[in-house]
Amino acid sequence: MATDKTFYLETFGCQMNAHDSEKVIGTLRQQGYRQVESEEDAGLILYNTCSIRDKAEQKVFHRLNDYKRLHKEGKRFGVLGCVAQQEGEKIFERAPYVSLVSGSASYRKLPEMLMRLEAGENRITGLDDRQTDETFETEFTARQNPYRGYITIIEGCDKFCSFCIVPYTRGKERSRTSSSVLNEARRIAEFGYTEIQLLGQNVNSYRDPEGKCSFAQLLAAVGQVPGIRRVRFTTSHPRDFTRDIVDAIDQVPTLCDHVHLPVQSGSARVLQKMARQYTPGWYLEKIAWIKAAKRPISLSTDIIVGFPGETADDFIQTMDLLAEVQYDCVFAFKYSARPNTPALTMIDTVPDEEKNRRLQALLDRQREIQRVNYSRHIGQVIEVMVEGANSAKGQIAGRSSQNKPVNFNWPQPIAPAPGAYLQVKITNAYPNSLVGEAV
């Protein structure tokens, strides 16, 4: 390994993975490592992986294969995250030049594993079973986002939806104490961050080990930390979405007026096969609470089309739910089987061509819904937090409290810094973004 202890880290996947990488980077730096920008310049090459999407593990192995030539130069490889937990020691068999395999539930052991790596060990594993009670808390988080601070408040999942691999790769649900979360929120504010996003596989399944706070109370408490202007949270599970969350959003102005509430399907029969443990009617009750809030709350969701056994009528029910809720954003995917999940044993009755057709029909419908929803903002003046420059359009890019992208013209030669808050008058709207002029 390079004597100056350099490392390169590439992250695949979701915001949880991105924040895990921030904590991994901080831990590595604390252990005397220096981050570099390319595999070629690194002594230690790490891939933090995600296994949610189809062919995730193939993507990781392809990336490893692309750079295996560097092993001959004395470089070491490590695979972290969900694919590491899913594949385990099989990674050593498929890619024998890998020296470290660690699931996310074992990141707390990183300092020890790094010492073993430096001592010359070639097959180091950190693979916890589902029963671990440990969370990965560290004071050495290297925050990479210039305007938003992430805090993981709960790790793991106990829901066992039949299509999802997360309960097997992330372990059981285990929450951090509300005291540790609030202490981290205060530190983030002291560093100059004004927006915090609370993270969890099922963030609203949070259960305070100290017994002090419900999720809604913790949300409100983070929103009251001095210096914090915006608080977001993701991802919620409908089964744990309670009315007091809406009440908190109404009562605490710093809580963003946006809720991401994955429905997955509008068919009760498909939801039962997915083991979601709710019906469309029950889900729509939650939506009714949100729509009855004192201020407009933007809604987004996740939908899977073509789940095994989904009929044409089931899909129509999903389209009907789409029309009823009128989401501001939908993340829609074709069903793909994931290893070790119960759905893997189900007969995939929907041909890929039909999955494509249904997905496109859903996206077309949603595009029209968003076209109408976004156009309602024309003429309004809204607060936008700057995220950077939209060089393609020569504008400033930002985001509203409702999590809607806003591109706006800026008349001055020096662009506002990421994290700045500006009032923007909306002059035009597209299905996925708003356009305006800085006031």
Span 241-292, pLDDT tens digits: 999 999 999 999 999 999 999 999 999 999 999 999 999 999 999 999 999 9
pLDDT score of 1 more than 90: no
What is the rounded CA–CA span in Å between residue 47 and residue 40?
Answer: 14
HEC states along the chain?
A: CCCCCEEEEEECCCHHHHHHHHHHHHHHHHCCCEECCCHHHCCEEEEEECCCCCCHHHHHHHHHHHCHHHHHHCCEEEEEEHHHHHHCCHHHHHCCCEEEEECHHHHHHHHHHHHHHHCCCCCEEECCCCCCCCCCCCCCCCCCCCCEEEEEEEECCCCCCCCCCHHHHHCCCEECCHHHHHHHHHHHHHCCCCEEEEEECCHHHCCCCCCCCCHHHHHHHHHCCCCCCEEEEECCCHHHCCHHHHHHHHHCCCECCEEECCCECCCHHHHHHCCCCCCHHHHHHHHHHHHCCCCCCEEEEEEEECCCCCCHHHHHHHHHHHHHHCCCEEEEEECCCCCCCHHHHCCCCCCHHHHHHHHHHHHHHHHHHHHHHHHCCCCCEEEEEEEEEECCCCEEEEEECCCCEEEEECCCCCCCCCCCEEEEEEEEEECCEEEEEEC
Q: Read off the DSSP letter of residue 255.
A: B
Band of the pLDDT at 139, cuts 50, 70, 90? low
pTM: predicted TM-score of the whole model, two decimal places: 0.89
CATH topology (fold) of 381-438: OB fold (Dihydrolipoamide Acetyltransferase, E2P) (2.40.50)
Q: Residues 128, 157: contact at Cβ < 8 Å?
A: no
pLDDT score of 129 more than 80: no
pLDDT score of 100 more than 60: yes
Amino acid identity for residue 199 in this structure: L
Band of the pLDDT at 3, cuts 50, 70, 90? very low
CATH topology (fold) of 148-374: pyruvate-formate lyase- activating enzyme (3.80.30)
pLDDT score of 145 more than 60: yes
Tell me what percent of the residues of the chain surpass a pLDDT of 70: 97
Burial state string for 374-399 with b = 16 or more CB within 10 A and e = fewer than 16: beebeeeebebbbbebbeeeebbbbb
Task: Classify domain 6-126 by CATH number.
Answer: 3.40.50.12160
Q: Which pLDDT does position 54 carry in this prediction?
A: 66
Which one has a higher pLDDT value, 244 or 137? 244
Domain positions in the chain: 6-126, 148-374, 381-438
pLDDT score of 108 more than 90: no
Q: Tens digits of per-residue pLDDT, 328-351?
A: 999 999 999 888 899 999 998 899
pLDDT score of 376 more than 90: yes
